Structure 1
Amino acid sequence: MIWRFTGRTARTKVHVPPKVDDKTVGDKEETKEPQMRRHKALVFLRVLLALPGPVFLAFSIQQYFDGIGSLRSLVQGHIGLAFAAAVTFATLPLWLFSLLLAQIHHTVDFDKPESLHGRRVWTRVRAFESALFLLTAFAYILLYSQDRVFYVWAILGLQPVVALALYSITNVVRAIINHQGSGYHTFLLSQGWRVVVNAIFCACVMLYALSAMSRIPIDALSIVAFSELSFSGIACSDESAFLNAFGASGANASCPAKPHCGYRTYEELCQAVQYSTMARGLTIDFELIHYFVAVTWVVVSLFLKGTGRLRADNGYSHLFSRHMIVGMLLCLVQLMNMIFSCMRLLLIVPRLQSPRQAAYFVREDSMEEELPLFCYSSDCIFYHLWGTVCLYVLIIVVLNFDFLAKYASQLGGNADKELQKAIDELKNHENPGEKWEEDAPFFYFLPAEYVCKPCVEKTLPRMQTMRGARTYKQICAEKSLPRMQTLRDAGILKKMKIPLVAAFRGEGIIKNILFVSHRWEEFGRPDVNGVQLQAIQEYLHDHPDIKWVWFDYSSMPQNTGGFAFDTRTPEEKAEFQLMLSAIADLYLTARVLILLDGSYASRFWTLTEAWCSMQTATPEGLRPATEAERRYTISCIHNADDEYDAKGLVSKVSTKTPDEMYGILEKPDVNVTNAKDKVAMLPVIQKTNQRVIEMFQKLVARSLSASEADDSDLH
């Protein structure tokens, strides 16, 4: 029910929701049980996603205690650390997907589901899940590595990197929620299938590689020495020469004090040495494939598609920026590298599964036939592995170059200079229609018929939501009003100059404009359930003379990066700042729809807008508007009511002078999201009378100039 306050009397307008939404109490009770089952299924799914890592860790611990000193132990074998790293990267997408699933909130009241926006990404349960994942990964490193002291110090030194990664993940999750909006559930469903396919693929690769590595077990401490020995020209045909070379090498020092280095026969030892290089190369391929699968899913599915940086509705125009082209070329190189690793893995595994007899290695160059297309020395493996890791880091940096450049600009203090430069360019623009003028500022407006279109079903989104939608049909298909930039690019948002002299006189376009004064219900979402849009549509239905609507969320460039980072361009921030400085003049002259809720009277901007709408501008300054001069309409929404909230608001601000209003707004119980707005606007409010008097003086001066021009024409 919406109560609309008009003057001293109130009239009630009952809103009847569509029949398709009508539910009886019995219907509501019937819907709770299946929703409870879905919630339990969601919890069960998250438990399953968290299990693979700890289960493999438990298996590894059992292997460690049961197989100490045995070459058959996975923990003791050289494949162990690579296998643990592969499990970590295979379960990384599962953990991230579980974190995304956790953002779907469950409430007892199913008729009022919690919004995804403005909620905390981290809770105690989610923090515990993340800690479990990270501790499991660290446990793998300590359990499977031989130099545990080094890795302990490495882990401690990497804590800032882990903290930075968690901070980045938090921002990415928020960006995904903000971009996906009502399509968040669909996005999760599509990503769920990708995560399942990736996990199955990684599991198959792990089992396939392990089937070969288990045939020729090599101790983790001996793998490097064995590999170097295999390239020394040694052959298995001369046992005496082989054992002499083996004893003089570092391989002998790394072996247990047992005959044949713990192997049962000389042939097994020789095969282990000869195949160690191939096994070591297989380990690298094994790791790189899992790195590629995990990193590709994170970058493409989350960073690009999830956050909206890769969008089909703008023809994927973002992909054609220079840094994205470079990033895609690097991704192509990495894709070729991964395909090469897959092909070589397919070639090596069958050879390792069927070890040759020692007599096979009579020729010193026989291993060249077994090592296809790659250099397997320690230096080659080092540069290949860490070169690939560095390439992944470079790809992430390049793909996010625009974000990093903006962030670095803000940190370096260049943002203020760029903003001032953009403001100066707007004030000195060559095109009169684009030039900012103090006496004729421009603003962006929504056509009233567009706001009332049937396709607009719920809320008025930000203008960036569907940037690049080129037709009304494309925007209408989304069933919501986009952010300002999108509407402007699509030709729906109208940029118009408002001559303030005519506006203060009540003439011109100002008579057909409606300004909406409302409170943002959540950070980043002013109208969560569409109640505000519904009230606007009802007002427009009753006032067909209104042709244009100003709604700040859709009419001013909005920041999508939260408090940490401003995603707007310098030009957008310049427009925002200039329009903000002149907004009070429009609330003093245009018709205003006040969407009053229970918290409206505690906010700085809403109180300022309400006060301006209840004043009348005269040559002597401001005075309270009479009933005949009224420009405002109060529409009570949510828990606000006519008797208490509406009349209380009128009583609180309608008769106040600028100085009295200054005293009200400066109090600490009047809240504002950005404290700088309060500091900047309070002096403007205090000088409102002076501003109004100056505007009327300009009006008189123009009238005199026009009269003098007419007199000169007569003479």
Structure 2
Amino acid sequence: LYQADTWRRRQFLSSVWQLLSENPLALEQADLVLDNMALVFEGSLHTLLAVLDPEVRKVERRARDEKKRRVCTFTFVRADVLRDMEDGDQPNPMAWHQELDASWLETREIEMERAYNGEYDDICTISHRWEEKDHPDASSNQWRKIKHHLKLEENQGITHVWYDYWCLPQGKGLSEAEKADFNRQLKLVNLLYLGSRVLLLVDQSYMERFWCCFEAWLSMQRCGPNGLTPLTDGGGKRYTIVPVDSGRALAHADLAQQSELLVGMWAGCRVDEAKQHLSSDAIKVTNQKDKKTQLAKVDQLNDEVR
């Protein structure tokens, strides 16, 4: 096994993971397993140790339970907190998830069927581009647009906001359990873009980014017996587009044109067309694996919502 090809080592490791995660006796003898198989695992040993972490197993049990019940628990920021904040208030409204005041955050179970029916109109999900590698909104322009949006009369029914920087564990120093919980939520984040109100914060580079375009397309779809179909086929608009100048000085007309182009590209786009557009090299993504994974999920999602 030590000299076997990478694929065989991965298959072997996968079998051991399953054994250790499902067999209590094997877990009790995990030290013996590690002592005798460390060389086989090579660089993947840390992954095995993560599986043995009680907190990781807790997240995985939660994910399995939620899968059976067809729900997913997400963390949200309370909209009333954001409405009441003024510029300069502390803690910083653009702090990342782990630094936010715990009283700002609430968890909710999102039911798949209700999401597919677009029933979560008390939730506002934010689609945005990250301005910098380590911070989505160094200029605070996005924050000001979010706050203004929440204060509008027609949006007083919004009780919770999902913004990835606030609602998912962030940074390089995450524990294995935090990484597992991040992945648990990310796998089903499409539920939010299909089932809630969506605020699209569009800047000059938004249409070049894979995640932004994918989220925008989902927000312009409805779920039904024919799978994913454009909202233009029968109303029920859930998305709002707000132009954002993220730093480079642009005329308001230019930003408005970006919004029109976004609607023109994605609003009437059906599944096959969306996959073709999203797979284009012109649509950039930081992690190519994300694009491959999400595109593979489009057909699965299209069948799931029927």
TM-score computed with the length of structure 1 as normaliser: 0.34
**Which structure has the larger Rg?**
1
Whole-Å separation in 1 of the counterparts to 2:240 and 2:91: 30
Question: How many aligned positions are there?
Answer: 254
Aligned: 1:677 with 2:287: no
**Residue equivalent to 1:99:** none
Deviation at 1:419, TM superposition (A): 4.9
Q: Which residue of 1 aligns with 2:16?
A: none
2:228–2:305: 8 Å Cα contact kept in structure 1? yes
User: Do the aligned residues in 2 keep the contact of 1:617 with 1:623 (CA within 8 Å)?
Assistant: yes
2: CA distance between counterparts of 1:505 and 1:682? 22
Task: Quote the sequence identity (%).
Answer: 31
Residue type matched to 1:493 in 2? L
Matched, 1:437 2:44: no
Q: Is 1:442–1:496's contact at 8 Å kept on the other side of the alignment?
A: yes
Deviation for aligned residue 1:487: 3.2
SS of the residue corresponding to residue 497 of structure 1 reads strand
Q: Tell me which residue corresponds to 1:633.
A: 240
* SS class of match (1:668): coil
Give the C-alpha shift of residue 601 in structure 1.
0.4
Q: Which amino acid is the alignment partner of residue 596 of structure 1?
A: V
Which of the pair is proportionally richer in helix? 1
The aligned amino acid for 1:667 is S
Q: Using the alignment, how far apart are the partners of 2:255 and 2:226 within structure 1?
A: 33
Structure 1, unpaired ranges of 5+: 1-410, 458-475, 562-566, 694-715
Q: Deviations over 1:260-284 (max 9, x none)?
A: xxxxxxxxxxxxxxxxxxxxxxxxx
Task: Call closer, same or farther: CA 1:456–1:619 in 2, change over 3 Å.
Answer: farther
1:251-290 alignment runs, 5 A limit: none
Q: 1:661 aligns to what SS in structure 2?
A: helix
User: Could you say which residue in structure 2 is the equivalent of 1:453?
Assistant: 84
Between the aligned partners of 1:425 and 1:454, the Cα distance in structure 2 is 35
Q: Does 1:541 align with 2:172?
A: no
CA distance in 1, matches of 2:231, 2:133: 33
Tell me which amino acid in the other structure corresponds to 1:534: R
1:689 aligned residue: 302
Within 5 Å, which residues of 2 pair with 1:19-38?
none
More strand by share: 2
Write the distance in 2 (CA, Å) between the matches of 1:505 and 1:584. Answer: 13
Is the contact between residue 124 and residue 199 of structure 2 (CA under 8 Å) also seen in structure 1? yes
The Cα of 1:497 is off from its aligned counterpart by 0.9
Please report how far the alpha carbon of residue 501 of structure 1 lies from its aligned counterpart in structure 2 after TM superposition: 1.1
Partner Cα separation in structure 1 for residue 97 and residue 213 of structure 2: 24
Question: Could you report, residue by residue, the CA deviation over 1:453-499 in whole angstroms, capped at 9, with x for unpaired residues?
Answer: 33454xxxxxxxxxxxxxxxxxx5344343222337x2321111111
1:600 aligns with 2:206: yes
Taking the aligned partners of 1:517 and 1:555, their CA distance within structure 2 comes to 13
Q: Could you tell me how far 1:680 is from its partner in structure 2?
A: 1.5
Cα deviation for residue 423 of structure 1 reads 5.7
Deviations 1:167-211 (A, max 9, x none): xxxxxxxxxxxxxxxxxxxxxxxxxxxxxxxxxxxxxxxxxxxxx
- Runs (5+) with no aligned partner, structure 2: 1-41
- Deviation readout 1:38-95 (Å, 9 max, x if unpaired): xxxxxxxxxxxxxxxxxxxxxxxxxxxxxxxxxxxxxxxxxxxxxxxxxxxxxxxxxx
Q: Deviations over 1:399-419 (max 9, x none)?
A: xxxxxxxxxxxx932343355
Q: Residue type matched to 2:59 in 1?
A: L
Q: Deviations over 1:527-552 (max 9, x none)?
A: 01111011111110111110100000
2:159 and 2:295 map into 1 onto residues whose CA distance is: 31
8 Å contact from structure 2 (residues 60, 180) kept in 1: no
Contact 1:419 1:574 in 2 (8 A): no
Which amino acid in 1 is paired with 2:187?
S
Question: After superposition, what is the alpha-carbon deviation per residue over 1:93-124, rounded to whole angstroms, capped at 9, x for unaligned?
Answer: xxxxxxxxxxxxxxxxxxxxxxxxxxxxxxxx
CA distance in 1, matches of 2:99, 2:144: 22
TM-score (ref. length: structure 2): 0.76
1:149-188 residue pairs with structure 2 within 5 A? none
The CA deviation at 1:436 is 3.9
Q: Give secondary structure in 1 for the equivalent of 2:257.
A: helix
Partner of 1:530: 140
**Structure 1 residues 656 and 506: CA distance shift in structure 2, 3 A:** closer
In 2, the alpha carbon distance for the partners of 1:477 and 1:443 equals 24
Q: SS in structure 2 opposite 1:512?
A: strand
Confirm or deny that 1:656 pairs with 2:286: no
Q: Do structure 1's residue 487 and structure 2's residue 100 form an aligned pair?
A: yes
Q: Secondary structure at the match of 1:598?
A: coil
* Inter-CA distance 601–420: structure 2 relative to 1 (3 Å threshold): farther
Q: Is the 8 A contact 1:442 1:579 kept in 2?
A: yes
